[in-house]
């Protein structure tokens, strides 16, 4: 299709978006409809930018531009996670031509809404703090190269390291909500990742204790929704099963050592 043909086509075709909005954290939510001109290769971010450029709803009323977050536009930062046509996913990789019309866009409600599609994901980062999702170092000076991981371990650990705290897994998990303190599937998988690292394993017991505490691994209902929505295909349920076995062994050995 030539550039002229594309221009003619875009003038004939509109895309309808039904966006769930919220003016502030304490306001009720409402749905607003927008019709935007279609262009080839548009993603949801491009559609939201079109609304920002011309904030007029489907009834022809001038409204406040929709608020959202985005950063990398390459599905590696997690900032633009939204519920698009009922599925939590990244808006940057959601192409309009591959979505059923009209397109329904909502914020990920597992987290408190700040405004429109912007949410506060502190719950995820607090969970990473609980399981000490970092590699400890002793001092600020150069300690030289650390212990090497066997290649077979490094390969599968790399798959776990692809997590970018997008929030899709906790949004899909029925056990993560405002009434529970469940740490979430991503945090369990990250605990497994850092326990595998030769230096990270120094705090293995702390991670086990955190996952045995309130909101820990025992609150997983094994719905397996998380692994279905993970944009990086991380084997979250495999990690949960592996950590369950490890924690059972740790708890049993701790009991014997009393």
Which two structure tokens, joined as six digits, stand for 212?
């045995």
Which two structure tokens, joined as six digits, stand for 188?
């369990």
End position of a domain, from candidates 67, 92, 119? 119
Report the interhelical angle of 185-196 vs 122-130 (nearest 10°).
40
CATH number at residue 16: 3.10.20.30
Containing structural domain, residue 74? 3-119
One domain, residues 16 and 87: yes
CATH number at residue 232: 1.10.1060.10
One domain, residues 202 and 108: no
Rounded to 5°, angle at Cα 65 from 59 and 67 = 130
Which two structure tokens, joined as six digits, stand for 1?
């299709």
End position of a domain, from candidates 119, 151, 179? 119
One domain, residues 28 and 61: yes
One domain, residues 88 and 177: no
Considering only CA atoms, which of 104, 85, 96 is closest in space to residue 15?
96
* Helices marked H in the chain: 3-12, 44-53, 122-130, 151-160, 168-172, 185-196, 204-212, 225-229, 236-256
pLDDT (0 to 100) of residue 254: 83
One domain, residues 159 and 249: yes
One domain, residues 127 and 115: no
Characterize 186-225 residue by residue with b for buried, 16 or more Cβ atoms within 10 angstroms of its Cβ, and e for exposed.
Answer: bbbbbbbbbbbbeebeebbeebbbbbeeebbbeebeeeeb
Under a CB-based contact definition with an 8 Å cutoff, are residues 186 and 162 in contact?
A: no
**Residue 87 DSSP SS3:** strand
pLDDT (0 to 100) of residue 98: 96
One domain, residues 149 and 245: yes
Torsion angle, alpha carbons of 62, 65, 66, 68, to 10: 170
Q: How many domains does the chain have?
A: 2
pLDDT (0 to 100) of residue 8: 47
Q: How far is CA 249 from the centre of its chain?
A: 30
Write down the pTM of the prediction: 0.88
End position of a domain, from candidates 64, 87, 119? 119
One domain, residues 184 and 218: yes
What are the backbone angles phi and psi of residue 28, rounded to the nearest 5°?
-70, 155
- Full pLDDT tens readout for the chain, 258 residues: 455 545 545 456 899 999 999 999 999 999 999 999 999 999 999 999 999 999 999 999 999 999 999 999 999 999 999 999 999 999 999 999 999 999 999 999 999 999 999 999 999 999 999 999 988 776 667 777 778 888 988 999 999 999 999 999 999 999 998 888 999 999 999 999 999 998 889 899 999 999 999 999 999 999 999 999 999 999 999 999 999 999 999 998 888 876
One domain, residues 102 and 127: no
Q: How far is CA 203 from the centre of its chain?
A: 26
pLDDT (0 to 100) of residue 177: 86
One domain, residues 12 and 71: yes
Could you tell me which residues are beta bridge partners of residue 19? Answer: 32, 105
One domain, residues 88 and 201: no
One domain, residues 130 and 78: no
pLDDT (0 to 100) of residue 146: 75
């Amino acid at each position: 299709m030539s550039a002229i043909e594309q221009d003619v086509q875009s003038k004939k075709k509109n895309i309808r978006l039904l966006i769930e909005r919220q003016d502030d954290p304490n306001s009720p939510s409402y749905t607003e409809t927008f019709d935007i001109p279609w262009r080839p290769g548009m993603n949801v971010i491009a559609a939201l930018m079109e609304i920002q450029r011309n904030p007029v709803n489907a009834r022809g009323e001038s409204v406040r531009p929709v608020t959202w977050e985005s950063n990398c536009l390459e599905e590696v930062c997690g900032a633009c996670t939204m519920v698009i046509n009922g599925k939590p996913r990244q808006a940057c990789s959601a192409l309009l031509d591959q979505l059923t019309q009209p397109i329904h866009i909502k914020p990920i409600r597992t987290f408190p809404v700040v405004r429109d599609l912007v949410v506060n994901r502190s719950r995820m980062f607090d969970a990473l703090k609980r399981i000490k999702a970092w590699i400890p170092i002793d001092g600020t000076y150069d300690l030289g190269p650390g212990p090497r991981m066997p290649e077979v371990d490094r390969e599968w650990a790399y798959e776990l390291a692809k997590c970018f705290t997008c929030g899709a897994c906790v949004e899909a998990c029925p056990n993560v909500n405002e009434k529970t303190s469940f740490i979430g599937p991503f945090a369990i998988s990250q605990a497994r990742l850092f326990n595998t690292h030769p230096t990270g394993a120094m705090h293995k017991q702390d991670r086990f204790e955190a996952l045995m505490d309130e909101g820990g691994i025992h609150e997983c209902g094994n719905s397996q929704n998380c692994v279905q929505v993970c944009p990086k295909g991380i084997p979250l349920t495999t990690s949960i099963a592996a950590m369950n076995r490890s924690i059972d062994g740790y708890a049993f050995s701790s009991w014997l050592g009393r």
